[in-house]
Amino acid sequence: MTKMTGNQDFLEFAYQLYHTMQANEINLVYEGVVTQEITRTFTAMTEKNMAKIEESNQVQRKVFNVMVECLQNISKHADPMSDDENEEHRGIVLVSHGEHSYNVITGNVVKREKKEKLEKSLEYINSLDKEGLSALYKQQIKEGRISEKGGAGLGFIDIAKKSGNKIDYQFKDLTDDLCFFIIITTISRN
Amino acid sequence: MEVFSKKGTDDTPSVTLDKDNGVFEFSGRSLPEDVQDFYGPVLEWIEEYGKQANDHTDVIFKLEYFNTASSKMLLDVLLKFEEINDNVGNVVVKWHYHEDEEDMKEAGEEYQDIVSVPFEYVVY
């Protein structure tokens, strides 16, 4: 009997999910470990979808670009919820598209101690115009080094540059030490 | 010098470095999992080439896409060629971009601002 109810709940959930995705024109939802393989698969899927609707090359490239940086951010920087190895490099990924824009939304767990630094850097990036971003990019590419995690410290700058829009972000408190970090990047279609 | 040749994949570029035939070319996509792993041998080859460089070196970039970690490594590649230009001279970077890809052109211009090697732009 309990099993029946459980299944009913899941069916209801699946149905609601379907509706929510339709209503918000969400093309892709994922929660789990983000690897290079996942990055390759998701970007290829999204490219195929965009090609099908004859999206302009420039917009396709921008969406691809932003997705790669966002996914690699998760695979390099997401902190685990626990010491469980399976909890590493996990996050959520959503891609939606409407009449005027694409949205790439990613979220992952980060340690609270990183919050301030992330906020500062995103606020600074969001305060810059196109020339400012280009100058910051050039400075960082010259002075930066490839980190142990394999990043160049250029991800957010590039996301802001390529999208041409401000990066929307939010931190939700999870525990005393952890929060959930969500970023939304919008790529205009025209 | 031995030819350095790597066929491109979904996430790594095609690279041909051939001193005898004067071919130095990077094309395709670059978003490898480990950029240092991929570009390390490339940088080593260019370093060796610098010791016995040709009179002219045309470096062709015909990239469709590269991620930010690759962009840092590409700067290192360009800085190696800058060194060759300082020592031997006649290095030209031929930066190709698709006519729809303003971002790729801008990427070239940003490198040009940083590296003192002449750039030529080729639209395809």
Which residue from A77, A56, A64 is spatially nearest to A152, judged by alpha carbons?
A77
Answering whether pTM is above 0.80, one says yes
State the pLDDT at residue A140.
94
Chain A residues 104-163 with CB within 8 Å of chain B: 134, 137-138, 141-142, 144, 146, 150-152, 154-155, 157-158, 162
How far is the alpha carbon of A138 from chain B, nearest alpha carbon, in Å? 7
- The pLDDT value recorded for residue A3 is 56
Using one digit for the tens of pLDDT, what is the confidence trace for B83-108?
Answer: 999 999 999 999 999 998 889 999 99
| Residues B54, B20 contacting (CB under 8 angstroms) | no
- Report angle CA A126, A130, A133 to the nearest 5 degrees: 60
CA dihedral B38, B39, B45, B51 (to 10 degrees): -170
The partner residue sitting opposite A72, judged by closest CB among B10, B67, B101, is B67
Query: Taking CB atoms and an 8 Å limit, are A65 and B103 in contact across chains?
Result: yes
Would the CA dihedral through B90, B91, B94, B95 be positive or negative? negative
Q: Cα(B69)–Cα(A188) distance, rounded to whole angstroms? A: 25
Question: Between chains, do A40 and B72 touch, taking CB under 8 Å as contact?
Answer: no
ipTM of the complex: 0.91
Least confident segment among A106-120, A148-162, B10-24, B110-124: A148-162
Predicted local confidence at residue A5, as pLDDT:
67
CA distance A54 to chain B (A): 14
Contact B103 A62 (CB under 8 A): yes
CA A85 remoteness from chain centre: 22
Average pLDDT for consecutive 10-residue bins of chain A (190 residues)? Answer: 69 89 87 91 91 91 93 90 78 91 94 94 96 95 85 90 95 94 93
The pLDDT score that the predictor gives to residue A1 is 47
Closest residue of B to A150, CA-based? B34
